[in-house]
Amino acid sequence: MRLEDQLDGLAELGLPLAAGRTVDELLYSWPRVAYERKPFDLLLFTLGCMVEDEPWERWFCDRAWHFDAECVRGQGSYVAIARQLCRISGLPDALSGLRDHVDLGAEEAWIEYTADGRRVNWPIEVRDDWADLMVVGYLIDELEHGDRRFYVRHNGQAMTLFFLDDKAAERLNTLAGERVISPFPG
């Protein structure tokens, strides 16, 4: 299937390329044949990534994020996770007053934020540099709204998260010819 046809199908489901992103930028990362050999496989991964060319910090899709769960380096790690979840949910300000404390050596960590007028503080289980997926699930619970939720496509220690409604997720699985995404476990 042509890359452009895959992109059209994903855009109809709520996963369009971000404003200003181009097919040429996708092709900078991978050759066309890699995207077209197994339709949707590589493209779903790439949509969650940043463009690999200057200027930096440009995402391919506003409703996808490739999340490597082995990402905890210290202070600010969970704030960064929360901000990415807010970005792909389309609610950039839903979690305000974000702050975290991460001391890997002392095995102490927590995240704190305000959501819907409530101040929330979650203790975080420290497991080396791995994110506490239970706490990630708590953040996700704060951001899911209406019939839209986080879906996940696993990729070893990493995953690509998508923010879709249930019907779009079902249609994506049908379009891809297999169950490529499932609701984030929570």
Q: CA-to-CA distance for 113 and 153, rounded, in angstroms?
A: 27
Instruction: Quickly list H helices, 54-165.
Output: 77-89, 133-143
pLDDT in tens, 51-108: 999 999 999 999 999 999 999 999 999 999 999 999 999 999 999 999 999 999 999 9
At residue 186 the predicted structure's pLDDT band, cuts being 50, 70 and 90, is: low
> What does the DSSP 8-state code read for residue 59?
B
Residue 54 CB partners (closer than 8 Å, separation 6+): none
pLDDT in tens, 94-150: 999 999 999 999 999 999 999 999 999 999 999 999 999 999 999 999 999 899 999
Q: CA-to-CA distance for 124 and 122, rounded, in angstroms?
A: 6
Q: Kindly report the pTM of this predicted structure.
A: 0.94
